[in-house]
Structure 1
Amino acid sequence: MRRSAEETKRAILAAARERFAADGYDRATVRAIAAAAGIDPSMVMRYFGSKENLFATAADFDLAVPDLRREPRERVGAALAAHFFRRWEHDDGQLRILLRTAVTEEEVAARIRAILADQVAPRIADLGPGAADPGTRAGMVASQLLGVALCRYVLRLPPLDTMDTEEVVAWIGPALQRYLVG
């Protein structure tokens, strides 16, 4: 059965997300991705040009960070934490791919930095002046969110891995509040 070009791209991306999540960037091969997608490896190159481009596409996502100015100022930390953990709970593997491989792959770490700079820092800057400049505040927010995500979703560190999301938000929200607005 023949697939359309769009269906083939979707199959490649789905297979790539699985392989990158399971094997990491380095060990995931174009051949393994192609086999999982049921296509010849040359088709991966045809659609994406390189493993790097495939990864960038597979890991391209929108955090959909809400406009925090719409939240009561005393709740922006909890609102951001709740949004972030809901995003993780409904992740299709992209965030895990990034987090698992960022510590060993500079390209992946650069991708995370770009996502934070493009999507999180502007929302923090929108809140106005805080205890530090928006870049510093974004870095501190990222350290907390990514640290908890690593422990909860990748390392599955007890009891963090079994806590209700609301409980995690209750713990992390006050720290984020401090970083966001002082």
Structure 2
Amino acid sequence: MPDEPPPLSRAERRRRTEARILEAARELFARSGYDRTTIRAVAAAAGTDPGLVMRYFGSKEELFARVAELAPDQPVTGPAEDVAEVLLASLGDKLRGDLSGTLAMLRSMLTHPDAGREVRAAITEQQRQVAAAIPADDAVLRAGLIGAITLGAIIGRDLLHLEGVRDAKAEDIVEVLRPAIHAIAQSAPAHAPAELTADLAP
């Protein structure tokens, strides 16, 4: 008869319970956002008591802070062509990785002030690095548009589940976006047709 495993220590039992709570919270915040996720729902999903969730994490805000995060970006340096490839590689990594923390942050950013600030701070820092590498007078605008495109790809596929995007592979999304990101980053002299420009003029 095999030996029974030794009983878990109190510290190990707590660690496992915390891990279950964090996993349940990450999934619920990503699916429902900050406002619609409750401590009671998190406790039920984790198979524990709401009071224990509060004892371990203090409040819903503190629990949210533990699980909601934007995946960190690597520093962006070098010429515009290299910067474009770094951004595309970073987008591909995000789309292939575990986005639950990022999705929790993105789903909550319009209703939860802290989430909105975190998203803006993370994006702004990278945009400044990108703008410094773009050889154009409107570099800040171009960097902002690149940020909007890459963020929109994540939101469109994994939050809005847009048709054509929701089932797309990360590498396919990156390949379709590659010409556009390079054109914006390298300040490519692409202009709208003259008749369209005339129609848009005030």
Deviations 1:82-103 (A, max 9, x none): 3223212212411222222323
Given that residues 77 and 175 in structure 1 are in contact (C-alpha distance below 8 angstroms), is that contact kept between their aligned partners in structure 2? no
The answer on 1:40 being equivalent to 2:53 is no
The percentage of aligned residue pairs carrying the same residue is 35
Q: How many residues align?
A: 178
Higher gyration radius (CA): 2
Summarize the Cα distance change of 1:133–1:16 in structure 2 as closer, same or farther, 3 Å threshold.
same
* Equivalent in 3, 11, 24 of residue 15 of structure 1: 24
Deviations 1:28-78 (A, max 9, x none): 100111122222222222222211111111113542x234436x7424323
Normalising by structure 2, we get a TM-score of 0.72
Partner of 2:154: 149
Q: What is the RMSD computed on CA atoms of the aligned residues?
A: 2.7
* Equivalent in 56, 59, 71 of residue 65 of structure 2: 56
Summarize the Cα distance change of 1:43–1:137 in structure 2 as closer, same or farther, 3 Å threshold.
farther
Pairing 1:158-173 to 2, within 5 Å after superposition: 158-173=163-178
The structure whose RCO (Cα within 8 Å, separation 6+) is larger is: 1
Partner of 2:133: 127
Partner Cα distance (1:86, 1:103) in 2: 25
Give 5+ residue unaligned stretches, structure 2: 1-7, 188-202
Deviations 1:8-44 (A, max 9, x none): 3222211101111222211110011112222222222
- Which one has the bigger helix percentage? 1
Normalising by structure 1, we get a TM-score of 0.79
Partner Cα distance (1:16, 1:160) in 2: 26
Partner of 1:106: 113
